[in-house]
Each structure stands twice: as structure tokens, then as C-alpha cells.
């Protein structure tokens, strides 16, 4: 089941999203493209775009790849337990735990243990396919938190 949200800024298809912490809309919360390591992942942005891309720059002024939603627009988010596409920021194998690549664009990379840090790390799901940077693969949305305990 999709989660209905509003975009806080431009959000592209198939990217990890987190809640925008300053959301004040009582009807629908806002989400941001994930984020940095310290922000819990709630799901993955919709697979579709706002419109049919007619050229490298569409009529909304957003260059390819076309956005799933612009600031304040409605956005569907795949939630826990759903299978969806995720865009990769690195090479992953089927079965890998996936996290955001920490460059604020919400692309998925293989989860790597923080190496002894007690800072919580946020995982967004499990890869169901092999893929490389720039590809989209199927994943199971399964948000979780990992904290290293010495």
C-alpha cells in the first residue's frame, strides 16, 4: 500500500525518502530525498514521473531524469513490505541490505557496517536483484536501524 506524502523539494523516481522533520501539514506529511546517514528511511518514491519527457528539458524546467514530484506536489511512497524499483548509486548483489548513498540524492548502495561507530545507520530494504550504479533494480522495502554495539 502506498503512503501518500508531499514533496519537500524535487524528488526523483525510485529514490529513498525520509520524513521532512519540519513538516506541519496535518493532512499529509512531507518527505525529502534521502538524506544523510542520520535520517530514518521511510520508503521509496514512486516509479512514475510527473509527465511525459518530450526533450532533455521538459516544460517544468526539470532536466532529465524527470522528477516524480516538485516542491509541495503529491508523491506516492512505497512503504514497508512492498516490492519496488530503486535506483542504484553503486554495485549491489541480490540479498544485500541497502542504505542511502549519503550524497542526499536517495540512491541505494550496499549497507556497510559503520566500523565501530555507535551512530545509528539507517537501512531502507533488501536487494532482490544484482545491479550497478545508475540501474534500477527490484527491492523489498524494509526500513531498519543498525547500531554497532561493542
Give every CB contact of residue 147 below 8 A, 6+ residues apart in sequence. 118, 119, 120, 121
Residues 98-118 pLDDT 10s: 999 877 789 999 998 766 667
pTM over 0.95, yes/no: no
Give every CB contact of residue 57 below 8 A, 6+ residues apart in sequence. 63, 64
Distance separating the N- and C-terminal Cα atoms of the chain? 38
pLDDT confidence band for 57 (50 / 70 / 90): low
Amino acid at each position: 500500500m502506498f503512503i501518500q506524502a508531499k514533496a519537500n523539494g524535487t524528488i526523483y523516481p525510485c529514490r529513498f525518502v525520509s520524513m521532512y522533520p519540519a513538516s506541519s501539514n496535518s493532512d499529509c506529511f512531507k518527505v525529502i530525498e534521502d538524506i544523510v546517514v542520520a535520517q530514518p528511511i521511510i520508503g521509496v518514491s514512486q516509479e512514475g514521473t510527473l509527465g511525459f519527457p518530450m526533450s532533455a528539458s521538459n516544460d517544468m524546467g526539470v532536466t532529465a531524469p524527470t522528477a516524480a514530484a516538485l516542491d509541495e506536489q503529491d508523491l506516492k511512497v512505497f512503504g514497508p513490505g512492498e516490492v519496488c524499483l530503486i535506483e542504484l548509486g553503486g554495485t549491489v548483489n541480490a540479498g544485500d541490505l541497502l542504505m542511502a548513498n549519503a550524497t542526499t540524492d536517495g540512491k541505494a548502495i550496499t549497507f556497510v557496517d559503520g566500523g565501530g561507530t555507535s551512530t545509528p545507520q539507517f537501512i531502507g530494504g533488501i536487494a532482490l536483484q544484482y545491479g550497478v550504479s545508475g540501474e534500477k533494480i527490484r527491492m523489498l522495502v524494509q526500513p531498519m536501524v543498525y547500531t554497532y554495539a561493542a
